[in-house]
Amino acid sequence: MAIPKQASWMVRKILNMRKYWHTIITSPTLVKKEKFHIQAAYIALRGPVTEVAWSSLICHSVASPRTVFILWLALLGRLRTQDLLIKWGIDVNGTCVLCKNGLETQEHLLFHCYFSKKVWQEMLS
């Protein structure tokens, strides 16, 4: 059966996987004791992935989901700071809202801002 053009992208992806199914189902590493192991199939299809040093902060954290999400954005350099909004063409002041001194960047907010430094010092003491 040909993959229909009007099918959603998800259906097309699923139908496109048919060509790999015979290889997957007959692989001795994926079928053990006549049982198919979906985790092994996922790893085989995904391929090798290098683990980042900060994965344990995100994946097995006792922090709230909101905190983990913000940390994840910070580690990827994707926090919505004033400098990023300016790059997107949004008309904002750009000055740090906490210390009113300097351009609000992720680096400034987390490490150089006077107000943030005080908060970090209080948290660590």
Question: Reduced to 3 states, what is the DSSP secondary structure of residue 81?
Answer: coil
pLDDT tens for 83-114 read 999 999 999 999 998 998 889 999 998 888 99
Is residue 56 predicted with pLDDT exceeding 70?
yes
Total-model pTM: 0.51
* Domain parsing of the chain, residue ranges: 9-46, 53-77, 80-125
Question: Reduced to 3 states, what is the DSSP secondary structure of residue 48?
Answer: coil
pLDDT tens for 3-41 read 888 989 998 888 888 777 766 666 677 777 777 777 877
d(CA 9, CA 3) in angstroms, rounded, equals: 11
Please, what is the angle between helix 18-26 and helix 9-16, to 10°?
40
d(CA 58, CA 61) in angstroms, rounded, equals: 6
